[in-house]
Amino acid sequence: MVNIIDKFGFHITNTAHAAGVDVGLCIPVDIKDAAGKVTGTSCVSNFNYAEYIHAIYGYSLKIGGVLTVLMIIYAGYAYMTSQGDNSKINTAKDIFMGTLLGFTLLLTLGLILDFLGLPTFSI
């Protein structure tokens, strides 16, 4: 068994599985004794890539939604303070369209994940 710790604290575990190699994720959990002292770590069972993708997509959707609102507010502010300058107006429009395109791509990713049968974030 090979454990690799990435920068988020997740263990990527490779184990031999029947004919091939099954690659799964292991989230470390502290094992405590009766006194509450940590005596070791173990892995959360039944954690697979579908749940990992679900968590990543959920957080991405939340962060993307907040950033979309902030960037639309910024684009509106830039448009209102452009004072008729065409270059500033075009910059504000580009920010607005780029923001909408980025969030649309994030939502489209949810449709692709749903088509592939992976769990997606639901509100």
| pTM greater than 0.75 (yes/no) | no
Amino acid at site 73? I
How many H helices and E strands in the chain? 2, 5
Q: What is the pLDDT along the chain (123 residues), one digit of tens a residue?
A: 333 444 444 444 434 334 444 445 555 566 677 777 766 666 655 556 777 788 888 889 999 999 999 999 999 999 999 999 999 999 999 999 999 999 999 999 988 888 887 766 665
CB atoms within 10 A of CB 79: 16
Dihedral pair phi/psi, residue 25, rounded to 5°: -110, 145
Collect all residues with Cβ–Cβ distance below 8 Å to 110 and sequence separation of at least 6: 57, 61, 120, 121
